[in-house]
Every structure is written in C-alpha cells, then in structure tokens.
Amino acid sequence: MDHPTILVFVEFPDPEFPTAGFLDHLAYPNAELVGFYHLDDSESLEEAQAEYGDEFTTELRTQAERFEQRGVRTEHDLIFNHNRVEVRQRIAEDHEVDAILTPGGAGTLGKVLIASRHTRNAEEKVAKLLNIIDRDELISVDLIHIADPDDPDGESEGESILAEMTSILTDENIPPIQINREVRTGEDVAYELSQAARNYDLVVLGETEQDVGDRVFGPVGDYIVGEQDVPVLTIL
C-alpha cells in the first residue's frame, strides 16, 4: 500500500485544519477533505447552503491546495447534515478510506502514541500507519493500554498486548529504543488516554466495536482532541 487514503473531517463554521508542519511529516497519503456543517432543527438545508455554501467551499478549496503543495493529493467536499457520526461512517465506507484524521494543533509529527485495546489485525493497521506518517521523522512510538480495574488479569493481559505490538513495530524496522510501553488502569478510557496524550504529536486509535457510531469515529478520539488539541488518527 503505497498511498493510503485518509479522511480529514473538519466541522464548520470553525474548522481546525492540520498545521503545515504536521502535513510536512506525512508520507504522501491521499486525502479526502470533508467539511461538515451541523444543521440545527430550525435550519433548512437550502437556507444553510445558500448562506454558507460558497464561503465554506472556498475555504475547503484553499486548504486542499495547501495539502497538494505538500504532496498530499486531495479531494474535497462540503456536507450539510443533522448527524455527523452517520456522515463520517458513510464517507469512510463509500470511499474505502484507510484512516480518519481529526486535526489538532501539533506542528510536527515526531512523537506518536498508539493506544492498543487488542492485537486483532494489528500487523495490517501498523503497516497502514507507517504508510501514512514519515517514519524517518519519528522520535518515539509509544504504546499504551488501558486496563479495566475490575479485571484481575487486566494488567497482565495489557502487558502481553503491548509486547506483541512491540514485536510488530520492530518487524517494521522501528528501533526498540524508540518504543516505550505503559499499562494504565482506569474506568474512563477517554480520560486516561487524554491524560496520556499530553506532549505527543499524534494519538493513534484503532476502530472500536462498542456501537455503530463509535466503530468508525468514536467519542474517545473527539474527547482527546477537545481536551489536549492533539490530532487523532483512527486506523480502520
């Protein structure tokens, strides 16, 4: 997979786009840049499109050109809808994207935190990740697992998961010295990950299976970006 596709999903009227420094450290993926405007119950689609369509489309086009200048081939689209989760899921499936990026304020891409709940399809997902980011610029690729405090085997299972993830990363020629591992316990996974995300340039999540909305682009990623302004990449 030479050129994976990432969905960059931004929300109007105040979208946050990846910084120039962050884009410079991607490994030339293709991008689907989608702007989303949430329609209130009192707004009609026609009224919103008439009022905002030209302005928002111009902004998306400008940003797409910025992506292109940094080697990221980009298509863009603007969607007005009442349900952002449904829209994100539909776009991810229809365009067969490999990952979804929620932009944050990071200006570089040297320190990456990978949250690992399990190791199903881990080899494929790590391969996708390392085809999206520029591995030559990596300073560290750290691993974290949040264990259930009520599970007596939670921490030991977490250690096993992270040991296997370390092996997968080293098989992909990531030097062991660049890999650190941590198992935390906590009932609130989103909170624990957001605390761990401090001082990182990117948090990597795998798709989850809790419900339809969370499966593709869940509240955990939204929470991390909102709390820490750290970009989140969800590998599908």
Domain extents in the chain: 5-102, 111-235
Using a 10 angstrom Cβ sphere, with 0-12 exposed, 13-18 middle and 19 or more buried, the burial of residue 215 is middle
What is the model's pTM? Answer: 0.92
* Residue 67: φ, ψ to 5°: -60, -50
Given strand 140-147, what is the order of strands in its sheet?
Answer: 74-81, 30-38, 5-12, 99-102, 232-235, 202-206, 111-115, 140-147, 181-185
pLDDT category of residue 3 using cuts at 50, 70 and 90: confident
SS3 104: coil
Per cent of the chain over pLDDT 90 is: 80
pLDDT category of residue 207 using cuts at 50, 70 and 90: low
* Residue 103: φ, ψ to 5°: -65, 155
> What amino acid occupies position 212?
V
Residue 101 bridge partners (DSSP): 8, 233
pLDDT category of residue 208 using cuts at 50, 70 and 90: low
Segment 130-177, tens digit of pLDDT: 999 999 999 999 999 999 999 999 999 999 999 999 999 999 999 999
Topology of domain 111-235, CATH: Rossmann fold (3.40.50)
Segment 13-52, tens digit of pLDDT: 999 999 999 999 999 899 999 999 999 989 999 999 999 9
pLDDT at 74: 97
SS3 78: strand
C-alpha–C-alpha distance, residues 128 and 150, integer Å: 33
pLDDT category of residue 221 using cuts at 50, 70 and 90: confident
Q: Smallest Cα–Cα separation from 187: which of 151, 161, 218? A: 151
